[in-house]
Structure 1
């Protein structure tokens, strides 16, 4: 990781990163990597459905981000539950990539995880597809979304690595040992009081079981916990 200076995590909703990758983010920030979040919706189609829910969930996500060392959080404001991999979303993610200039982008897989359908939300897959297109080719192509360069001044940027979360298990080729930062992952999750506050103990038990199985599958020692990803080389 010594050659990676910055990373960007692109998700559909507040709390997606904390369930799927907050341990990995904590490992990165502990190693000195500057991590930013781009959250495409504000998660307003959840909780009590009140008009204040978007603001509540944005506040919770910022608090959760701070628990794992992240202080740059961008919300794009797309409607929760109705995200599509549109040119507009690709443009907006491209803008964030060109601003952050990350070596690494982590987002959700555009493929279905048939082993655990509850996490395969259509918004997740749409954001993954749009983020993949933003990484390649949009962010590096000066002629893609021309106004970003000509009117806003955002210079092209080539991301070296794309990390995909929650894809099909047989395509995951990399695991991150998160045992030593699991308490920080849980602190981030508990920040989402509107979603997980009353059930955090059950969530912790389920995560320990799932992450323990992942660690065993990748050959880590007994008792370790790991998050897994499909890592794609996008440097070429």
Structure 2
């Protein structure tokens, strides 16, 4: 893994508003506290989700962008970018790979955090088709697209975006995590970020306790002292 002092910029690539907060908000809070620059890239606006059925899709998309912007502030992130793909219909494609590669070349991150592209049969909720499509497309954008100046040549020719090599990818919610981050000091900021997504969680009884219980279990798996919370990742080196 990269030493902490070599991680200066991080890009997260997720399918929907709230995905990064469920998977990694505690980790993000720790990164920004150390001065790491973090950018959120969201492939969709989450317009097909939520419990406010009086809103049309345009209204839901606007609401969820606002919720994600508010959530990001709790963990020190102000740079958010939305690609505007249709929620619920994302597939791995050359267009999506190009759009993610473009942002990688713009941001030039050391680490990219994204969804695991495989279905997790132990815990099905994070294995939404959009998640798996975004995870797979992001890995393809990291390698080979963003680092290859001949891939999507228009990015260099028309936009002046030089090739960039991401050094590590951290995958969330997969079946085989191999790295744990202690988020005990930031679990309340993670919860605050999640509670910003009222269109998604307001109806869930015992939401905060459920979330804390899940990450308390990861803390036990990570070998933290009793009462410690952790987030889990699978680390993919790209060298």
Coarse TM-score class (shorter-chain normalised): over 0.9
Equivalent residue in structure 2 for 1:191, among 196, 206, 221 = 196
- 2:201 aligned with 1:178, yes or no? no
Contact 1:191 1:197 in 2 (8 A): no
The SS at the match of 1:62 is: helix
Equivalent residue in structure 2 for 1:130, among 134, 137, 140 = 137
Aligned to 1:204: 208
Equivalent residue in structure 2 for 1:119, among 115, 123, 126 = 126
| Aligned-partner Cα distance in 1 for 2:232–2:49 | 27
* Unaligned ranges ≥5, structure 2: none
Kindly state the Cα deviation for residue 208 of structure 1 after the two structures are TM-superposed: 1.5
Name the TM-score, length of structure 2 as normaliser. 0.95
Kindly state the Cα deviation for residue 218 of structure 1 after the two structures are TM-superposed: 1.7
Alignment of 1:100-179 (within 5 A): 100-168=107-175, 171-179=176-184
Name the TM-score, length of structure 1 as normaliser. 0.96
When structure 1 is superposed on structure 2, of 207-216 and 3-12 the one drifting more is 207-216
When structure 1 is superposed on structure 2, of 111-120 and 97-106 the one drifting more is 111-120
Moved over 4 A (4+): none
- 2:33 aligned with 1:30, yes or no? yes
Contact 1:84 1:123 in 2 (8 A): yes
The SS at the match of 1:136 is: helix
Aligned to 1:220: 224
| Aligned-partner Cα distance in 2 for 1:30–1:198 | 32
The SS at the match of 1:85 is: coil
Equivalent residue in structure 2 for 1:87, among 77, 81, 94 = 94
Kindly state the Cα deviation for residue 198 of structure 1 after the two structures are TM-superposed: 4.0
Aligned to 2:237: 233
Aligned to 1:18: 21
CA deviations on 1:180-214 (whole Å, 9 max, x unpaired) are 10111111111111111343x62211121111111
The SS at the match of 1:35 is: strand
Equivalent residue in structure 2 for 1:45, among 31, 45, 48 = 48
CA deviations on 1:131-160 (whole Å, 9 max, x unpaired) are 000111100000011100111111100000
